[in-house]
């Protein structure tokens, strides 16, 4: 496998303003692998319990996900329960790690020569261990979260030294950097490892930074948001999957990758769990990508005669 994701496969029980769902498919690895499949199927490294519903495995396989790296252990599957009072932030009710608590990723032999690796927001020590198992990946991207920033900051910073791209949300970027400005946060992160940073801003879009280069893109205007769970992981799947499929890691192509991540995430939030992605077609992706490109296409004007002279 040329594209690998190491993350979680989980049950989600959640309530949003649009309704409730019990034990639907969740987890960073699930969202990433389905999202990336529109450009490149992924090998999935994660763990599930013996209570895991086989229909969810069938869904992952439908999208070409290689499951050789998915361990099955005695016990219960990771189960997250949460509530959204609005669509901006989840309130965690309970987190039952179950078999995920002792998860120690072991990459199958055929995964170790992967060209692209995505480390989802798992323990930085585990991320570091996975990095020791791959040989010569051309692109390594990772995500993290406030729990690891607060609890394992030193280990996280060590891991970031070996990462090409960090995907992180706006609040967590400021938490990690100790600043109150996302641009300053991005600059700080680049000085501490990754040469490229993608700062996810939810309904406000995202920011791509590399050296002195900046690219800002809005979120796609979704008319009816149902469930934001997994939007960030879907963004990552679209972004990394597109970079892998094109083989072009230039800043200019990363702009397109950010747009693709934005498009895939916009479909994710239109239904619960992976239900919308499961019905998504290539034609819909292409149509929405073209719409997004048109939204941000601004013709440059000559302002010489328009601006007041002072």
**302 occurs within a structural domain:** no
What would the mean pLDDT of 102-116 be, rounded to a whole number? 95
- Dist. CA 146–CA 245, nearest whole Å: 30
Angle at 278 between CA 22 and CA 141, to 5 degrees: 95
Residues 6+ apart with CB under 8 A from 146: 171, 172, 175
Structural domain including 189 reads 3-295
Percent of the chain with pLDDT over 70: 98
**306 occurs within a structural domain:** no
**308 occurs within a structural domain:** no
How confident is the model over 136-147, as pLDDT tens digits? 899 999 999 998
pLDDT value of residue 300: 78
**195 occurs within a structural domain:** yes
The count of domains in the chain is 1
Q: Sorting pLDDT into bands at 50, 70 and 90, what band is 302?
A: confident
How confident is the model over 41-84, as pLDDT tens digits? 999 999 999 999 999 999 999 999 999 999 999 999 999 999 99
**42 occurs within a structural domain:** yes
**What secondary structure does DSSP assign to 186-198, as a single string?**
HHHHHHTS-SEEE
What would the mean pLDDT of 100-110 be, rounded to a whole number? 95
pTM: 0.95
**244 occurs within a structural domain:** yes
Question: Structure tokens of 246?
Answer: 């094109």
Any idea what the CATH number is for the domain that residue 99 is in? 3.40.1190.20
**The pLDDT of residue 306 is above 80:** no
């Amino acid at each position: 496998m040329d594209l690998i994701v190491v993350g979680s496969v989980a049950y989600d029980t959640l309530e949003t303003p649009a309704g409730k769902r019990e034990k639907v498919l969740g987890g960073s690895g699930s969202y990433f692998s389905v999202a990336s499949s529109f450009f490149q199927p992924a090998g999935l490294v994660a763990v599930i319990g013996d209570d895991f519903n086989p229909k969810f495995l069938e869904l992952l396989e439908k999208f070409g996900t290689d499951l050789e790296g998915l361990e099955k252990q005695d016990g219960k599957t990771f189960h997250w329960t949460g509530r959204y009072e609005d669509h901006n932030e989840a309130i965690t009710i309970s987190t039952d790690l179950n078999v995920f608590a002792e998860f120690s990723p072991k990459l199958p032999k055929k995964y170790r020569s992967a060209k692209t690796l995505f480390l989802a927001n798992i323990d930085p020590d585990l991320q570091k261990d996975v990095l020791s198992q791959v040989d010569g990946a051309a692109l390594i991207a990772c995500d993290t979260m406030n729990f690891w920033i607060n609890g394992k900051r030193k280990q996280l910073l060590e891991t970031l030294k070996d990462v090409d791209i960090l995907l992180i949300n706006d609040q967590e970027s400021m938490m990690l950097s100790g600043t109150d400005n996302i641009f300053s946060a991005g600059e700080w992160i680049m000085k501490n490892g990754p040469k490229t940073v993608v700062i996810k801003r939810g309904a406000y879009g995202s920011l791509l930074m590399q050296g002195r280069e900046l690219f800002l893109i809005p979120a796609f205007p979704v008319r009816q948001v149902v469930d934001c769970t997994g939007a960030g992981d879907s963004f990552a799947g679209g972004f990394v999957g597109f970079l892998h499929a094109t083989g072009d890691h230039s800043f200019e192509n990363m702009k397109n990758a950010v747009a693709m991540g934005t498009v895939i995430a916009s479909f994710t939030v239109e239904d619960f769990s992976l239900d919308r992605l499961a019905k998504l077609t290539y034609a819909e992706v292409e149509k929405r990508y073209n719409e997004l490109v048109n939204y941000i296409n601004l013709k440059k004007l000559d302002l010489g005669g328009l601006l007041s002279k002072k």
